[in-house]
Amino acid sequence: MAGRGSEGKVVVVRKRSGYHGKHHGGSWKVAYADFVTALMAFFLVMWIMGMDAEVKDLVQGYFSNPVGFKKAHSGGTNMIATGNTPLSLDVKRLSMLARDFQRRQFEQAREEILDRIASAPELQALQAQIEIVITDDGLRIELVETGDGETFFAFGSAELKPAAARALGIIARELRGLPNDLMIEGHTDAARYVRPGYSNWELSVDRANAARRAMEEAGLEGWRIREVRGYADRELRVADNPLDPANRRVTILLPFKDPQPVRWLRPRIEEAMTRGAD
């Protein structure tokens, strides 16, 4: 016999089993993989942006060969194992990329130095005696004597004239923005030095060192100076007149810098690309 509470009422009890919803398959894995790839690309871009301009240009050179990528993918092989990849760019091409970039830097530095010297009233008379040339070896700056041959140094002296020190200061400040090392050379004419125990060899080295000190005092980092040389009269500028004052000069050389960063950058790029292929 049913109780009073059950009169006229039907109680329905429903039991739910575990419900997991519609099966999603592996789509979440694809989304997650896209997210991780984007994150890796973001950090790679940030890493490259933190490099200096020269290394960025070299990295760009690695990825400037789309034909290599196409061949590698169409063959179904790991593009690292093939020879048709950006990583197979030969050293000559990398060197050309580096030199083109440095040449632009040299040209900009040349214009800045000449403009600053021209704008200094006390140095305007020296413009014709400061020669800045970009050669196949790098940037060459020469302070060349003319006339009486005592514009930068007094005859037989290694003490810089005030105008010469001022010009070297301008040069040093403009060269601070370049990554290249420096070599400083001193040259004399063929006139014999009469002081006992002191010859044109010593004089040429002392003049090169005087130029070095002036540039370091103007802010050039001393560690960038690779060599200080004295050539005496063995590399005459005017060979047919060994006594010509133009043979007396100080030369500042900035050789093109070899793209050394590629050597440590290559394994890292290869490792990153290998992981992406896996």
Amino acid 37: pLDDT:
86
The neighbour count for residue 28, using CB atoms within 10 Å, is 9
Amino acid 145: pLDDT:
92
CA distance 101 to 98: 5
The per-residue pLDDT for range 39-74, each reduced to its tens digit, is 888 877 777 776 666 566 656 655 655 444 344 444
Q: What is the token pair recorded at 114?
A: 């000449």
Task: Give φ, ψ of 251 to 5 degrees.
Answer: -115, 135
Task: Give φ, ψ of 255 to 5 degrees.
Answer: -65, 150
What residue segments make up the domains of the chain, in order of their start? 31-94+261-277, 99-255
The per-residue pLDDT for range 156-214, each reduced to its tens digit, is 899 999 999 999 999 999 999 999 999 999 999 998 877 888 899 999 999 999 999 99
Percent of the chain predicted with pLDDT > 70? 67
Amino acid 197: pLDDT:
86
The third-level CATH classification (topology) of the domain covering 99-255 is 60s Ribosomal Protein L30; Chain: A; (3.30.1330)
Place of tokens 């103007």: 218
Q: How far is CA 72 from CA 58, 75, 79, 146, 263, in A?
A: 21, 5, 5, 62, 23
Amino acid at 118: A
